[in-house]
A and B are shown apart, each in its own frame.
Chain A
């Protein structure tokens, strides 16, 4: 089975540019999560969706960050404008919310460097 697929794997951009990270969850999973990981702050939950609807975006750092899930098989995390402090590894994860104890499956991450 294909796992959670993220793209791009690596992105280097300049401050002020727009960044779009993409995620394809595992087929049949109806919950999707975006995490950010840095050395200083560890693994932070940014936002999660149930059935394509954003449920909790309290972890989104500020208005420069936005996430969408237009359908069950695709989600984006956008940063506009990007800043050097946004440099991190961004992980997407999915799970089957119908199973109460269903585990999260993570993608391989998108490493973002903002110069």
Chain B
């Protein structure tokens, strides 16, 4: 699976959009981009995934660049409860080998 690069940490003001970038320049055509988050002392939680089209669900939006070499997870109106570590993972569909990197620690401030 392709490697991903994420900033170590980011801050965001409560109520504002949080934009979390992920670089996956070596992604191949059959690899999906997944996002998970881990709130302190809890298990990771799935957020969203996509292949090449932008995706939106009740939690977030995922914007994937046309060349698929990077993506951005958008939390449209961040709340204090969105403070967590956010993981970007690239994985071949059907591949069970889901490995987590260091992620981005997002702190939402009042």
Tell me whether A107 and B96 are in contact (CB under 8 A): no
Task: Provide a sorted-by-A list of 8 A–B residue pairs whose CB atoms are within 8 angstroms.
Answer: A43-B100, A50-B96, A56-B97, A103-B34, A103-B46, A104-B44, A106-B43, A108-B43
Residue of A nearest to B99 (CB): A45
- 8 A Cβ contacts from A38-83 to B: 42-43, 45, 48, 50, 55-56
Tell me whether A91 and B43 are in contact (CB under 8 A): yes
Residue of A nearest to B94 (CB): A100
Interface size range of chain B in the complex: 20 to 34
Secondary structure at the A interface, as helix, strand, loop or mixed, is strand
Residue of A nearest to B45 (CB): A106
Residue of A nearest to B101 (CB): A42
Known: A100-B94, A101-B93. A108 touches B100 (CB 8 A): no
Cβ–Cβ < 8 Å partners of B99 in chain A = 45
| Chain B 22-49: CB-based contact to A (< 8 A → 1; otherwise 0) | 0000000000101010100111111001
The answer to whether A25 has its CB under 8 Å from any CB of chain B is: no
CA distance A11 to B32 in the complex (A): 37
Tell me whether A42 and B100 are in contact (CB under 8 A): yes
Cβ–Cβ < 8 Å partners of A35 in chain B = 100
